Structure 1
């Protein structure tokens, strides 16, 4: 059964998020096949578990100790849909939502404290706009 995009904003946002993650994974596998991405990674030391896990992680394959090399958050959504034959513009896709930006920054902080040597990346289809959001979202590493 197909999902009806015209109803239920919250469910639609979740579906688009899942689709964005799937597209990102396929692109990474095609363009960077040597980088093994593990989806939906629980990171208990960073309090990122059960629904709040990392979207993706690059994990070393050392036998004795699992080492987190990088954590990747995929934050994307559509900016418009076609609903009942009409083009409807969606106002705040992906990182244009302040709550999404705040969650990504919070996750970056948690990862930086629990895994200080790990890299953290935010992948998005929509870059935040405005001076305040750009200043917060374009830093390279949380210290």
Structure 2
């Protein structure tokens, strides 16, 4: 893991944001949290993220819509989606849009860390 890995966590549930933040910071990552896709897009931190962990269902703009918009603007940041409603059709849409992982809530910390390892490895390959 690079010391410069910045992980952006987007979820409208403050408890989920805090739990993921605490987990990732305990593993040495720099973490920025956001309550919405819009808040993330307005942030200067959005361009320097190494990976985005986003809830699928958020008000105004879904996680999948955010991924689609970021890809349209040239971003190659890897995405991990989390959701309380792990519907198969949504999972397929997320993966087709380019997500690395799709996790149903609640998920094991080890599952998230495995996804993050894969996402960061994919991100490093893309940035070469």
Specify the TM-score bucket, using the shorter chain as the normaliser: 0.3 to 0.5
What is the TM-score when the length of structure 2 is the normalising length?
Answer: 0.36
